Amino acid sequence: MFKRAKQNRVFQDVVDQIQDAILEGKLAPGQKLPAERDLKDMFNTSRGTLREALRVLEQKGLIEIKLGVAGGAIVKQIDTEPIIESLALLIRSGGIALEHLAEFRIKIEGSIVELAALRATPEDIREMELLYKKAKAYCDKGDWENFLKTDETMHSYLGTMSRNPIFQFIQKSIHDNIHQYYESYLPMNHERTLENLNDFERIIAAIKMKDAATAADIIRDHVERFNKKMQEKTHRP
């Protein structure tokens, strides 16, 4: 499976060979890599270089290094958790400007809602209507924190309705962490929650009609309008 590492780039070659074997399915999740001494001989490299390469693979989430007699480097099931954490930290750190976040959302969420309108099942529509009623109840009680959480869930569920796992992942990652922007620049009140609810009521109606163009236009306008409100708040003395 493995061959001697290229001597001019030993470390990177070791990482690349093991990574390729995992991604190509030659090493399955749960499978243990050969013992360290065997890997060292296969790659014709030092123990220090090999261990550093294994640490990099562990950081990438491709393997798990277990200690003890029954330990070793175990291949992990590839998941999106490390990527989600990285994107969440980027958003929560405030490292993304409002205008960049809005620009991204206008482009991406418009496409997501178009697909959601075309692919939504009756069960999806019922779920969206239940979430809408839940959000409205929080609005009526003035419970802005739970209103925002439900609003985030509605946005994330649009990603689910797209039936595209990449869009679903992006939408959930953004809306699980976007609330801090509202807390900083646009705290919720009754007027804003009603405006938000009105937009979602129109989106749901368009999805019911499978009117993808209208649903996409509404969400784009929604993102742009609320972004303008936040921009106005940041520019006030």
Better pLDDT: 14 or 93: 14
Residue 188 burial class via C-beta count within 10 angstroms: exposed 0-12, middle 13-18, buried 19 and up: buried
Q: Identify which of 120, 146, 113 has the alpha carbon closest to the alpha carbon of residue 131.
A: 146
Instruction: Tell me which H or E stretch contains 66.
Output: strand 63-66
Domains along the chain with CATH numbers:
10-75 (1.10.10.10), 81-235 (1.20.120.530)
Write down the residue that tokens 């190509």 correspond to.
24
Q: What is the pLDDT of residue 8?
A: 67
Q: Return the amino acid letter for 52.
A: E
Residue 141 burial class via C-beta count within 10 angstroms: exposed 0-12, middle 13-18, buried 19 and up: exposed
Cα-Cα-Cα-Cα dihedral of 107, 132, 186, 83, to 10°?
A: -50
Please give the Cα distance from 230 to 224 (Å, whole number).
10
Q: What is the 3-state secondary structure (H, E, C) of 166-192?
A: HHHHHHHHHHCCCHHHHHHHCCCCHHH
Number of C-alpha atoms within 13 angstroms, CB side, residue 33? 30
Q: Which residues contact 54 (CB under 8 A, 6 or more apart)?
A: 18, 63, 65, 73
3-state secondary structure of 40: helix
Q: Identify which of 144, 148, 145, 169 has the alpha carbon closest to the alpha carbon of residue 159.
A: 169
Q: What is the pLDDT of residue 81?
A: 67
Over 80: is that where the pLDDT of 14 sits?
yes
pLDDT digits (tens, 9 = 90+) for 37-75: 999 999 999 999 999 999 999 988 899 999 877 789 999
Please give the Cα distance from 192 to 113 (Å, whole number).
22
Over 80: is that where the pLDDT of 237 sits?
no
Q: What are phi and psi of 74, to 5 degrees?
A: -110, 135
Q: What is the pLDDT of residue 83?
A: 67
pLDDT digits (tens, 9 = 90+) for 100-149: 889 999 999 999 999 999 999 999 999 999 999 999 999 999 999 999 99
pLDDT digits (tens, 9 = 90+) for 178-188: 877 777 777 88
Structure confidence at residue 11 as a pLDDT band (50, 70, 90): confident
Structure confidence at residue 84 as a pLDDT band (50, 70, 90): low
Global pTM reads: 0.71
pLDDT digits (tens, 9 = 90+) for 191-231: 999 999 999 999 999 999 999 999 999 999 999 999 998 88
Q: What is the pLDDT of residue 5?
A: 73
Q: Is 73 left (phi over 0), alpha (psi -120 to 50) or beta?
A: beta
Please give the Cα distance from 224 to 20 (Å, whole number).
42
Mean pLDDT of 71-93: 77
Q: Is 72 left (phi over 0), alpha (psi -120 to 50) or beta?
A: left
- C-alpha Rg value of the chain to the nearest Å: 24
pLDDT digits (tens, 9 = 90+) for 148-180: 999 999 999 999 999 999 899 889 888 888 877
